[in-house]
């Protein structure tokens, strides 16, 4: 989980500084501030800006006094990429923050934009560390923390099995933990994780994903129908599809090298590098983008955004399989 580096633990502090490159933790830092602000005032105005949207003078406009004295949260993403003139504006604001306004700066934490980082810390910012998890032990610690946060117990073997099955994506690990605690009562053990994430190959969500990203639509649909008929939760299938497409996108944009080197760079086990290389034939960057959008739509559909989860999954499988063949 994200950890706070100073004693200030008030999400409504005038300035929150979220530092790091782990997207899930950065988003959670933002969500915590927004939730606290809306708990204090349901009409809180939230402005979520990319660095290129914060031009010189924009911050002054956003933080100018309101006739209604409304609470406001201003979020600036990738603050390290702000222009020099905009950084001057932010530094000036840090010296005289406006009451009822919470400024949230998301900063990658490197050398770029370090002056702003130092200024925010000097101004007494509430800091949330959001480091990229690069080691298996860190991902294992994250999974254990997720279970504890939800007040649930999971055996060490179950946590390890989940990391081994899901991989390095914290969003997918968090989603898997949420699914398990929603579906399973009592302590979650390795057998439970096995039922969800391995099980019979023909009924596995990963088999559906593998056949789809290989462009084998008919086999993917057959595996999908079998999976659903044997009780595999639809959300696990969309998660597996997302993992499969993202793996192809990551590997296709990575530098060449040995599987072991790529495994370290991308956070995948070496055996998966070899498998994804075989699955990549026929994929294009546009195909990856189209497939990810289709999987996101299916995920929303199976989580209540649509009337027919099975149809949403079938549609996503067909789109992914078609994208896998687009470049052939």
Segment-wise mean pLDDT, segments of 10 residues, the chain, 328 residues: 52 95 92 93 90 91 75 94 94 91 94 94 95 86 94 91 78 87 89 71 68 92 83 85 90 69 69 79 91 93 80 94 83
Name which of 150, 129, 151, 155 is nearest 140 in CA terms. 155
Relative orientation angle of helices 170-183 and 190-197, to the nearest 10 degrees? 110
Predicted confidence at residue 67, as pLDDT, reads 57
Instruction: Return the bridge partners of 128, or none.
Output: 4, 18
Predicted confidence at residue 123, as pLDDT, reads 94
Please tell me whether the overall predicted TM-score, pTM, comes out greater than 0.75 for this model: no
Q: Are 207 and 223 in contact (CB under 8 A)?
A: yes
Predicted confidence at residue 271, as pLDDT, reads 65
Instruction: Return the bridge partners of 19, or none.
Output: 107, 129
| Three-state secondary structure call for residue 294 | helix
Predicted confidence at residue 4, as pLDDT, reads 40
Contacts of residue 89, defined as CB under 8 A and 6 or more positions apart, other chains included, come to 56, 57, 58, 59, 60
Predicted confidence at residue 204, as pLDDT, reads 63
Predicted confidence at residue 269, as pLDDT, reads 66
Name which of 171, 229, 209, 232 is nearest 294 in CA terms. 209
Distance CA 22, CA 12 (A): 22
Q: Are 20 and 50 in contact (CB under 8 A)?
A: no
Any alpha helices (H) in the chain, and if so which ranges? 23-40, 58-62, 84-95, 114-122, 136-149, 156-166, 170-183, 190-197, 205-213, 217-229, 234-252, 259-266, 270-279, 285-300, 309-324
């Amino acid at each position: 989980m994200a950890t706070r580096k100073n004693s200030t633990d008030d999400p409504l502090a005038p300035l929150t500084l979220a530092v790091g490159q782990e997207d899930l933790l950065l988003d959670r830092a933002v969500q915590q501030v927004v939730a606290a602000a809306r708990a204090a005032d349901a009409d809180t105005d939230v402005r979520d800006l990319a660095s290129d949207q914060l031009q010189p003078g924009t911050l002054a406009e956003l933080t100018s006094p309101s006739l209604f004295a409304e609470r406001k949260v201003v979020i600036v993403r990738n603050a390290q990429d702000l222009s020099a003139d905009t950084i001057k504006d932010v530094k000036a604001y840090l010296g005289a923050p406006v009451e009822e306004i919470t400024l949230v700066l998301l900063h990658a934490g490197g050398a770029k934009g370090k002056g702003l980082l130092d200024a925010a810390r000097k101004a007494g910012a509430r800091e949330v560390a959001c480091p990229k998890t690069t080691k298996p032990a860190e991902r294992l610690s994250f999974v254990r923390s997720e279970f504890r946060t939800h007040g649930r117990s999971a055996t060490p073997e179950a946590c390890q099995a989940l990391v081994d099955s899901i991989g390095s994506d914290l969003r997918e690990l968090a989603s898997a933990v949420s699914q398990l605690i929603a579906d399973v009562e009592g302590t979650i053990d390795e057998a439970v994780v096995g039922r969800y994430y391995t099980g019979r190959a023909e009924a596995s969500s990963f088999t559906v994903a593998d056949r789809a990203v290989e462009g084998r639509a008919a086999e993917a649909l057959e595996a999908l129908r079998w999976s659903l008929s044997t009780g595999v939760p639809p959300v696990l299938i969309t998660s597996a599809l997302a993992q499969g497409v993202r793996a192809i996108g990551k590997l296709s944009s990575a530098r060449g090298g040995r599987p072991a080197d790529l495994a370290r760079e991308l956070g995948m086990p070496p055996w998966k590098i070899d498998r994804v290389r075989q699955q990549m034939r026929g994929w294009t960057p546009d195909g990856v983008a189209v497939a990810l959008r289709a999987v996101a739509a299916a995920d929303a559909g199976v989580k209540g955004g649509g009337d027919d989860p099975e149809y949403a999954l079938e549609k996503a499988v067909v789109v992914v399989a078609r994208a896998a063949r687009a470049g052939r």
